[in-house]
Amino acid sequence: MPTRGSSLDLSAPCEHVSEVRIHSVTRPAHGCDECLKLGAHWVHLRVCLTCGHVGCCDSSVNRHATAHFEETNHPIITSAEPGETWCWCYVDRRMLGEAALPPVEPLPRADDASAHAPARPK
């Protein structure tokens, strides 16, 4: 059993992160569960963070990750591609990681101390 997992970038969380049960995933994943059974091909893989289901992305023919959401309402997936840590909420239709944050200067805070908080360690 592999014990090492890759972390998840939930730095821009939404209200559905309370449903996340899985906090690290193995990348790359072994393959799309359904496509393996069908003998079909996929483009990229996504992992459901509620139950660990592995499905294929919307660029794939069968879109099993989206189908899994429609079937189960498990809201959040992460990429199962090596080097990618972003998460996606199907309900909010947005990224939950740094890539989702708008590229603007942070607003100055009334509280000076928090405005100079050190950068989050990687």
Q: Does 95 bind Zn ion (CB under 5 A)?
A: no
Give every CB contact of residue 69 below 8 A, 6+ residues apart in sequence: 48, 75, 77, 90
Give every CB contact of residue 1 below 8 A, 6+ residues apart in sequence: none
**What's the Cα-to-Cα distance from 50 to each of 16, 20, 47, 53, 89, rounded to whole Å?**
10, 5, 9, 8, 12
Give the DSSP letter string of 24-40.
-B-SS-S--HHHHHHT-
* Partners of 6 in the β-ladder: 25
CB of 28 vs Zn ion, minimal distance in Å: 14
Q: Does 46 bind Zn ion (CB under 5 A)?
A: no
Q: Does 27 bind Zn ion (CB under 5 A)?
A: no
CB of 120 vs Zn ion, minimal distance in Å: 21
Q: Does 78 bind Zn ion (CB under 5 A)?
A: no
Q: Does 87 bind Zn ion (CB under 5 A)?
A: no
**From candidates 8, 74, 86, 100, binder to Zn ion by CB under 5 A:** 74
Q: Does 51 bind Zn ion (CB under 5 A)?
A: yes
Which residues make up the interface to Zn ion (CB under 5 A)?
14, 16, 32, 34-35, 42, 48, 50-51, 53, 56, 62, 64, 74, 89, 91-92
